[in-house]
Homo-oligomer: A and B are copies of this chain.
Amino acid sequence: MPDATPPDAAPLSDGDLQFTPVSEVGEFGLIDRLRDRLGDAASARDLVVGIGDDAAVYRVGGAGSDGSARVHVVTTDALVEGVHFDRTYVPLRALGWKAVAVNVSDVAAMNASPRFATVTLGLPNNLSVEGAEALYAGIAEACERYGLAVVGGDTTASARLVISVTVVGEADESAIVTRAGAAPGDLLCVTGDLGSAAAGLQVLLAGKDAMDTGGAAGGDGAEGAAPDLAEFAYVVERQLMPQARLDRVRQWAEAGVRPTALVDVSDGLASEAHHLSQAGTVGAVIDGGLLPIHVQTALAAQRFDARAEAYALYGGEDYELLFTLPEAEAPKLDPATYAVVGQIVEPDEGVVLRLPDGNRVPLVAGGYKHY
Contacts and interface: CB of A to CB of B under 8 A. Distances in A.
Interface in A31-46: 31, 33-34, 37-38, 40-41, 44, 46
Contact of A166 (B16, B76, B219): B76
B228 A132 contact: no
Contacts of A2: 210, 216-219, 225-229
Contacts of A83: 156-158
Interface in A189-242: 207, 210-211, 216-219, 225-230, 233, 236-237, 240-241
Interface string A124-141: 010111111110110110
A359 interface: no
Given A56-B118, A130-B15, A229-B4, A149 B40 contact: yes
A255 to B, nearest CB: 25
Interface centre among A31, A136, A153 (most CB of B within 10 A): A153
Contacts of A41: 143, 149-151
B92 A22 contact: no
A313 to B, nearest CB: 23
A226 B12 contact: no
Contact of A74 (B38, B162, B168, B230): B168
Interface centre among A22, A93, A227 (most CB of B within 10 A): A22
A60 interface: yes
A6 B233 contact: yes
A233 B7 contact: yes
Interface stretch (A47-55, A320-328, A329-337): A47-55
A157 B51 CA distance: 19
Interface in A101-139: 115-116, 118-123, 125, 127-134, 136-137, 139
Contacts of A5: 229
Contacts of A168: 72, 74, 168
A132 B129 CA distance: 33
Interface in A343-371: 370-371
Nearest to A228: B2
B136 A38 contact: yes
B228 A1 contact: yes
A144 interface: yes
B7 A229 contact: yes
A51 B150 contact: yes
Contacts of A94: 12
Contacts of A12: 91, 93-94, 240-241
B130 A20 contact: yes
A314 interface: no
15 contacts: A6-B240, A8-B237, A15-B93, A21-B128, A22-B125, A24-B129, A34-B119, A44-B115, A55-B152, A62-B62, A72-B72, A74-B166, A76-B119, A76-B153, A158-B162
